[in-house]
Each structure stands twice: as C-alpha cells, then as structure tokens.
Amino acid sequence: MFEALVARTQSLIATAEVFVPLSEQAFACAALSRLGNRRPSTLGTLTYLSGPEGIGKSFLARHTIREIRRQHPKLVSIVATAAELEELLTAADQQQGLAEVLEAFVRLQVLVCEDLHALEASTSSHDLLLELIDVLIHNGTHVLITSRKLPGEVRGLSPRWISRCHGGLCTTLPMMGRQSRVAFLSRLAEVKQLPLAKPVGPTMDWLADRWPVSPRELSIIVSQLVENSQRRPSLVDIPFLEKWFSEHQRAEVLSLDTIAAAVASEFGIQPSDLRSRSRQTGLIVPRQCAMFLARELTGRPLESIGDYFGKRTHTTVSHCLSRLKELLPQAPTLRQQVQRLRKRIAESRREDCA
C-alpha cells in the first residue's frame, strides 16, 4: 500500500497545473517552503494549512512538492487524505503489521495529509494517525496537514492532537481579493487559450465581479467556457458571458439523483450502491462514470459530488475522474455506455423541462 501511495503521488505531481502567484498566498507559500529543508539528522517539521473549500490548499501543496522535486529529483513523498491514512493504519494494526507500516513511511521526506476535517465523521480516537506523524517528524520527515478548519475547530480531535498541530506552523489561506481574481482569470484564460474579444480587460473585470468565488470554481468556469467556445466558435465578450451564464444556470437544475438513476440502470445496479461506501470491484467503474457525468453535466464542485457519492473527498473524486479519462480511450464498450448515458440524461432533462 505504501508503494501504491508513492506511485499515485508521483502521477499526481507529474500533471502540469497553472500556478499564479497571488498576494493572499504569500505567507502560506513561505510556510510551505519549509518542506524543502533537507538537513540530515534533524527533526522534521509540521505545517498546518487551513482555509475554505476550493481555496487552493491541495493545489499549493502539489505545487510546492513539484518545486522541491526540481532540486531533489529523488524526493519520496506521499499525498493522501487523513481518512486514507487512518484506514491504512487501522488495518495494519488489526493485522499486527503496524510496525512494518511505520517503518515504510519513515522513508518519506514529505507527507501531505489532506482533509483532516473529514475525520469528524469517524468515531475513532485518531491516535494511530498521530503516532505516524510523531514518528515521521522524529525521523526528519516534513508533514503538511490541510483542513477546512483550524485545529481547535475539528470535532473529535483530542487535546494531544490539537496541541501537536499548534506546535507546528499554522497558516490560513484567505479568499482571493478582486485584483487577484482578475490576475488569476487572465492567466487561466491565456493558458487554456480562451478566445477573448479585445480589449480583454472589461471581460475579465465582469467575470471577477460576477463570480467572487474560489480558485477551483474559477478554474472550472474557464474550462467550461473554453469547451463552450469550441462547440460554438465565438469570441468571448460580456454579451457572450451573459448568455452563457443564463444557459449554465438552467443546466444546473439537473439533479445528481437523475444522473445516479440513469447510471445505475445502465450498469444493472441500484442508485444506493453508487452512493455507498462499498469498494466492491463491480461498483468502481459505474461510480466513476456517475461522478464523471455529474461533473461534466452540472459543473458542480468536486466536494459536492464527493458528498453525494458516499461522502468522498475532492481528492478522491479527482482521482476517480482521472482514472476514468485514462480508461475511456482503451474501452470502446465503456465509451458507448457513457455516450448512451449522456443521451438518456439529456432526454430526461427535456422531459423534466416539459
């Protein structure tokens, strides 16, 4: 399992992403730079990064690791959710293999433990995860914990856990200001080759004022605009945006229940199976298809999709979407199923509107 997490992280880090330096991120970037300090025979560090959903915590962590790997190509790192790590440690403890797992993790230079707030849904004490973090820091590993909440706000954490987090460097990512939103949108539009009408300034200002939201949501919006402009070639200006947003808001009326029902029918399972926490092999691809179509047809945030399909984190949903995109070119039957589902769901939407 350790090697699988390392391989998954390497694949995740290998994917290029657009990074736009923003003033709101300056302190967090400085804090995360500690992850690159490699001094033999010294203790590791703990950095705690909090902030609202979609603000860019995971993105900033991945960017930091990429930058470190430029200087240290042999860096061994893992990016995993707190829930994944806790599940791994619990299983190892039950099988009398905890010592071996801890010994394997000591090889890490950097561990990113994401979504600590998700542990609120667990009734365990989380002592095993804290033990892992303590062992890693003692052996020189740098640990980054991300969460939507500050340590003292995460329900169920013991005083020892909270004290351990506060003993590290705690920093928070704030929401972007208007100027940062304009800069972020402009860079995304350039990289994604969004065909903007000139002058581009008023269009960027309109978007920044219309959507004072997180970087992740802005990135989704730009990607959807690119797809829309490719289907209906046209320069993007304010009238284009006004029309597109009007159509986009109507499209969001499509419910996840409708998508889940269609996918379940196509694969001969129950909608409740898609929303369960079950990891049965026969549910993996149908669930990936359901999340893929939910993302494509509604544009909902990954967190919203993950909550619906079994309380999964945005990292898990992103991984599932990537796996399906890799699988589709090699699976003609599955491609046909996805196309049938698009058609069936579109017909359901028209019937609902009628």
Q: φ, ψ for residue 172 (rounded to 5)?
A: -125, 135
Query: Which pLDDT band, with edges at 50, 70 and 90, does 99 fall under?
Result: very high
* For range 259-271, the mean pLDDT: 91
What pLDDT is attached to residue 323? 86
pTM value?
Answer: 0.69
**Whether 110 contacts 82, CB under 8 Å:** no
Residue 281: predicted pLDDT: 86
The answer on 120 and 19 residing in a single domain is: yes
Whether residues 43 and 107 share a domain: the answer is yes
Among 232, 251, 270, where does a domain finish? 251
Cβ atoms of residues 307 and 275 within 8 Å: no
Per-residue pLDDT tens digits for 64-80: 999 999 888 889 999 99
Instruction: Tell me: pLDDT of 350 over 60.
Output: no
What is the residue range of 274's domain? 256-353
Tens-place pLDDT, residues 304-340: 888 889 878 877 888 888 889 888 888 888 988 998 8
pLDDT tens, position by position, 232-262: 788 999 998 888 877 765 555 568 888 999 9
Whether residues 86 and 206 share a domain: the answer is no
Instruction: State the average pLDDT for the chain.
Output: 87
Confidence of residue 353 (pLDDT cuts 50, 70, 90): very low
% of the chain surpassing 90 pLDDT: 42
Note whether 244 and 127 are same-domain residues: no
Answer yes or no: do 164 and 192 share one domain: no
Q: What is the token pair recorded at 215?
A: 């970087």
Please, which pLDDT band fits residue 354 given cuts at 50, 70 and 90? very low
Long-range CB contact pairs, 246-254, < 8 A, 24+: 248/224, 248/299, 251/297, 251/298, 251/299, 252/298, 252/299, 252/300, 253/349, 253/352, 254/297, 254/298, 254/345, 254/349
Statement to judge: residues 237 and 301 lie in one domain: no
* DSSP structure class, residue 268: T
167-182: average pLDDT: 90
Judged by DSSP in three states, 242 sits in helix
Q: Provide the β-strand partners of residue 144.
A: 47, 112
Q: Is 199's pLDDT higher than 50?
A: yes
Residues 11 and 144 placed together within one structural domain of the fold: yes
CA angle 139, 12, 110 (to 5 degrees): 10
Same domain, 164 and 260: no
**pLDDT (tens digit, 9 = 90+) per residue, 126-150?**
899 999 999 999 999 999 999 989 9
Domain co-membership, 114 together with 246: no
Residues 6+ apart with CB under 8 A from 231: none
Output Rg (C-alpha) for the chain, integer angstroms: 22
Give the model's pLDDT for residue 105. Answer: 94
Per-residue confidence (pLDDT) for residue 177, from 0 to 100? 87
CATH of the domain at 274: 1.10.1750.10
Whether residues 206 and 229 fall in one domain: yes
Query: What per-residue confidence (pLDDT) applies to 220?
Result: 79
Out of 142, 172, 202, a domain closes at: 172
Q: Are residues 152 and 37 in the same domain?
A: yes
Write down the pLDDT at residue 221: 83
Instruction: Indicate whether 186 pLDDT > 60.
Output: yes
Q: Which of 177, 172, 164, 101 is nearest to 133 (CA)?
A: 164
Using the predicted structure, report yes or no on whether residue 47 has a pLDDT greater than 80.
Answer: yes
**Number of domains composing the chain:** 3
Mean pLDDT lowest for which of 58-62, 168-172, 217-221, 270-274?
A: 217-221
Q: In what order do the strands lie in the sheet with 110-114?
A: 77-81, 110-114, 142-147, 46-50, 169-172
Q: What is the pLDDT of residue 14?
A: 84
Residues 268 and 232 in one domain: no
Domain C-terminal end among 251, 275, 294: 251
